[in-house]
Amino acid sequence: MARTGYHTRQRELIADFLKTHEGEHVRAADIAAHLAVSGSPVGVATVYRTLDMMTKSGEVKKYIDPDAGACYVFASQPCDSRHYHLKCSGCGKLIHLDCSMMSDLEVHIAREHSFELDPGRTVFYGTCAECGAKRKDNDK
């Protein structure tokens, strides 16, 4: 990943928060609120600017959640723009979907519907195995 800009204490705090919430989509306001409660307040505008720089450098991925708006996730592993993502509506976990079946779907949609998917921006929403198991336990 290319690193840009300089590292500040605020950037370090934001990166640490994202690392501890790896795989989760979080909003800038969530980060700012957590930092304020933990005794290291950082303004929301600073959080947005820092997330923007981190997104440009590839350290962070930005997604638009139809319900929550702009969300961010720490890019602990290089995220190839040619794969899709699964997002759990229960816990917010983001799962990288590297599945050869998806290329068949992509080809089908292009051929049959004259529409080209953007895998780097395509997120499927549903329920992860853990949340599904919890739901089944609660239904008993």
Query: What pLDDT, on the 0 to 100 scale, is given for residue 4?
Result: 46
Q: Is 104 exposed, middle or buried (0-12, 13-18, 19+ CB in 10 A)?
A: exposed
Bigger pLDDT: 70 vs 30: 30
pLDDT the model gives residue 78: 55
At residue 45, the 3 state secondary structure works out as: helix
Residue 10 predicted with pLDDT over 70: yes
Neighbours of 26 (CB within 10 A): 20
Residue 134 has pLDDT above 90, yes or no: no
88: confidence class by pLDDT, cuts 50, 70, 90: confident
Where is 7: in which H helix or E strand?
none
- Residue 2 is predicted with a pLDDT of 44
pLDDT in tens, 37-85: 999 999 999 999 999 999 898 888 887 776 677 888 887 655 555 678 8
What is the per-residue pLDDT for 140?
72
Share of the chain above pLDDT 70, in %: 87
Kindly report, residue by residue over 91-124, the tens digit of the pLDDT. Answer: 877 777 878 888 899 999 999 999 998 876 788 8
18/113 Cα distance (integer angstroms): 38
pTM above 0.75, yes or no: no
